A and B are shown apart, each in its own frame.
Chain A
Amino acid sequence: MKKALLTASAIAFALAASAGYASARDTIQIAGSSTVLPFASIVAEEFGNAFPDFKAPVVGSGGTGGGLKQFCEGVGENTIDIANASRAIKKEEIATCNANGVNKILEVQFGFDGIVFATSANQGDFALQPIHVFKAIAAQVPVDGKLVANPYKRWNEIDPSLPDQEINVAIPGSNHGTREVFQEKVIAAGCKAAGLPEMEKEAMEKVCTTFRQDVVVEISGDYTETLARLQANPATVGVFGLSFYDQNKDSLKVATVAGVTPSLETVASGEYPVSRPLFFYVKGEHIGTIPGLAEYTEFFLSDQMAGQGGTLEGTGLIPSPDATRAQVLEAFKAGKAVGTN
């Protein structure tokens, strides 16, 4: 026992000593959007395979907001190098970053993703318009020119073309970039189409962004959580990324929006209205300190990864045109930071 204790303390000491040596991180650390996560993970894995001299980057989740929060915590080995985002960085986030000494925020836009509404596969067909979604989930809706508490209980009360089904919607929580796009592209459009009575801008904004809590479930986890919701209560309409829907077509049925069925083609052509660009943000201060950061970004944007017919397209990414990607890469190489001009 004595001997064991001695060895134990010796190992403990060695461990403590090695902690001091921790100061040279050689693996890229990534966190952020769960929509970008599958793409980033695949690139990370391929990167490790293709470049024997670098380690495969480590990719965490946490949502766009969570990732950017970690990203902006400061500069140094114990902060992440790249934040994945399914929306552009906000002004306030840039301000936090700058306040913590992160000034070289390099934006990389690498493709698009569609946002789809889907139900369980055995449910009725939905042909949605933004106004339908707004009327389903807003706390207050205009009826005969006056704002009233939302009276709708079933989808066919909103529009007779919709299925006779109870209204239940699972939307992404506010930590997700998807939420922002959903609000901007669907709810704002629906709110406008609903024709609110005359009111001040701020009040109008509030009506447009306040949802009723009894039928709306906010999902802060990832899309599998939304899918679990749909399985628990089949009468739920869930909001998903197109790439997630692509992998689960056997259990999900997708709704058309404004008459367009979401697919790689309709999103790429811009026909399908609810799509958003996908980004990742690289910490310029870490380039040169953390090995492989620039190479990873170049590899991500290469034809074989994010290009047309590349690996990521096979898993549901909608590639940007070649010229756009070339521009993005050029700006990255030139070190053009966000928020400095």
Chain B
Amino acid sequence: MATTDTLRPMGHSEPKDERLARIQKSLRRRRSAETRFRIYGMSAVAIACGFVLFLFASIMHDGLPAFWQPALQVKVTFSPDVVKVAPKPEKAPGQSPAEFQRANLDWQREVTMVNWNRVIQDAVQAAAPDVELAPRDVQAVVSPNQRFKLRDMFVENPGLLGQTVDVSLLASANVDVWLKNNIDHTLGDDRQQLSAAARQLVDRLYENGTIKMVFSTVLFTNADSRGASAEAGLLGAFIGSLYMMIIVIVLAVPIGVASAIYLEEYAPRNKLTDLIEVNINNLAAVPSIVFGLLGAAVFINYFRLPLSAPLAGGLVLTLMTLPTIIIATRNSLKAVSPSIRQAALGLGASKTQMVFHHVLPITYPGIMTATIIGVAQALGETAPLLLIGMNAFVATVPTTPLDQATALPVQIFLWEGNENRNFFEPRTAAAIIILLVVMLLLNAVAIYLRSRFERRQ
């Protein structure tokens, strides 16, 4: 009791139980304040998780079905009546390689001119023998670029002439929409994407098992397509993003780490370095679109790099990532305990030896994390790429960083704007899933590398 009294200088005449009640009341108040705060915190976390879950659930719900798309399993006959081409040129003795190449190209062009639609028409007719099919309906059902698939098969193996083989032909985007109920089946003919006859044909082929849902490999093996939406894929955008990431890693990491080491370990503290430091911090906060403008002005207009090329995109993203890497590296250098520095110097190591042999290795996990966070940020960046022409339609997969390409997030943006909404809405969600998976993989690599490097010490 005496201690309580000394703790409460003002109270001298307060009865004991009254005082107890007061203490208990204040305790209750403090405890309930704590409970309230816990509840606020938990509900904040719950709301955040709810949003994330909702986002994931809705993307998965929209996007997962797009990984499967309908294809017609038909028997294709390369009938000599339709495929009327000369035999594939053989290399004649005495023919120069250039001449042979020319003859080969001419032959390929001839093969392209074959009426492949007729071949497809016959194959589909064979799958539905008892009805007379109009060519227009068959063309509406089979994806238009499948004729090039047949052409490529034939170019690869001219021995197919006169033979019948099993081929899986992708169905068109509108068939996909119809079979997945992404369009209201009760709408009148004038508001449907497919004609009544084509819809009947699709239903029939689906019932007799000719049309099957197959895993959509084209999504991973094709570049974008407009003429044949069902065959639009992400490979072109993925390779474009990959080139840009390589450029970012190759340029931003050495430059960023080197400048961080210099600024942290060697540079004198004066007004100039302060100014540089302030500027680097500000650069990290500059909106990415500004880097896009800068890139368009410097890399495209001044250095005359090609438009839409991953090289220019990678350089812009490098500029954007540099401050992130410099700041994170400096922070991890700062966190290295001075005792290590002093010990190294005390044993006679030079400053450079001290930095590279003792300080830097400790910071590897930090640098690694910074790099991967920076790269992941660059991977998801769209705005600056729009300004250097990377939001273009590119039908081919880029082979070098100088070829025109898009990037994964830009491809998502482009698909979102496609006029065939019913087909591309799920396709866009599928692309988002793929982008998220790539991001998660990158982060997983970051965590793995960090834990590995940490264990070494």
Q: Which residue from chain A places its CB closest to the CB of B251 in the assembled complex? A: A12
5 A–B contacts from the bound complex (CB under 8 Å): A44-B393, A52-B105, A53-B105, A58-B404, A251-B421
Chain A 81-97 interface residues, beta-carbon cutoff 8 Å to B:
none
Known: A18-B402, A19-B311. A38 touches B112 (CB 8 A): no
- Chain A residues with Cβ below 8 Å from B168 are none
Chain A neighbourhood of B193, CB < 8 A: 247, 249-250
Alpha-carbon separation in the docked complex, A52 to B107 (Å): 11
Q: Which residues of chain A are within 8 angstroms of B307 by Cβ–Cβ distance?
A: 29, 78, 80
Decide if B108 touches A250 in the complex (CB within 8 Å): no
With A31-B392, A38-B226 as known contacts, state yes or no: A249 contacts B305, CB within 8 Å: no
A48-B416 CB under 8 A given contacts A31-B389, A41-B226 = no
> When the two chains form their complex, are residues B419 and A247 in contact, meaning their CB atoms are under 8 A apart?
yes
Closest 6 CB pairs of A and B: A60-B392, A41-B226, A56-B395, A59-B393, A58-B404, A42-B227
Is the interface on chain A under 10, 10 to 19, 20 to 34, or 35 or more residues? 35 or more
- Are the CB atoms of B187 and A250 closer together than 8 Å? yes
Of A46, A48, A121, A248, which one neighbours B396 at CB under 8 angstroms? A48
- List B residues at the A interface (Cβ < 8 Å): 105, 108-109, 112, 144-145, 148, 183-184, 187, 190-193, 225-228, 246-247, 249-251, 253-254, 300-301, 303-309, 311, 360, 364, 389, 391-396, 400-404, 416-422
Known contacts A27-B404, A78-B305, A78-B307, then 11 further A-B pairs from the complex at CB < 8 Å, ordered by chain A residue: A8-B253, A12-B254, A21-B402, A25-B306, A29-B392, A48-B395, A60-B389, A222-B417, A224-B416, A247-B419, A248-B422
Whether A22 and B305, one on each chain, are in contact in the complex, defined by CB atoms closer than 8 angstroms, is: yes
Mark each residue of chain A from 223 to 243: 1 if its CB lies under 8 Å from any CB of chain B, else 0.
Answer: 111010000000000000001
Contacts A15-B247, A247-B419: A58 and B393 contacting too (C-beta < 8 A)?
Answer: yes
Bound complex: CA A309 to CA B250 (Å):
51
At the interface, yes or no: A311 with Cβ under 8 Å from chain B? yes
* Chain B residues in 8 Å Cβ range of A25: 306
Contact indicator A250/B422 (Cβ below 8 Å)? yes
Residue contact A45 to B247, C-beta cutoff 8 Å: no
A residues less than 8 Å from B303 (CB atoms): 19
Shortest CB–CB separation between residue A296 and chain B, in angstroms? 13
Task: Specify which chain A residues have a CB less than 8 angstroms from the CB of B422 in the assembled complex.
Answer: 248, 250
Measured CB to CB, the residues of A under 8 A from B are 1, 5, 8-9, 11-12, 15, 18-19, 21-23, 25, 27, 29-31, 37-38, 40-42, 44-46, 48-50, 52-53, 55-56, 58-61, 76-78, 80, 121, 221-225, 227, 243-244, 247-251, 311
Q: How far is the CB of B263 from chain A (nearest CB, A)?
A: 18
Interface centre among B144, B227, B253, B389 (most CB of A within 10 A): B227
Which of B246, B249, B306, B396 contacts A22, CB < 8 Å?
B306
| Contact B389–A8 (Cβ < 8 Å) | no
Q: Which residues on B sit within 8 Å (CB–CB) of A76?
A: 304
Complex Cα–Cα for A41 and B226 (A): 6
Contact B306 A42 (CB under 8 A): no
Q: Which among A27, A243, A248 has the greatest number of chain B C-beta atoms within 10 A? A: A27
Set of chain A residues within 8 Å of B395, measured between Cβ atoms? 41, 44-45, 48, 56
A249 x B191 contact (CB < 8 A): yes
**B residues near A18, Cβ cutoff 8 Å:** 311, 400-402
Decide yes or no: A55 and B396 within 8 Å by CB, A9-B254, A19-B311 being known contacts. Answer: yes
On whether the beta carbons of A15 and B401 are closer than 8 Å, the reply is yes
> Contacting B226 at CB < 8 Å: which of A45, A224, A249?
A45
Chain A nearest Cβ from B141, distance in angstroms: 14
Which residues of chain B come closer than 8 Å to A58, judged between CB atoms?
308, 392-394, 404
Distance of A37 Cα from B417 Cα, bound (Å): 11
Q: Which residues of B contact A251 (CB under 8 A)?
A: 421
Q: Which residues of A contact B306 (CB under 8 A)?
A: 22, 25, 77-78
Q: How far is the CA of A229 from the CA of B246 in the complex (A)?
A: 39
Which residues of chain B have C-beta atoms less than 8 A from A37's C-beta? 393
A243–B419 Cα gap in the complex (Å)? 9
Query: Do A8 and B226 have beta carbons less than 8 Å apart?
Result: no
Given A78-B304, A223-B419, A243-B419: A49 and B148 interface contact (C-beta under 8 Å) = yes
In-complex Cβ contact of A224 among B250, B394, B400, B421 (8 A): B421
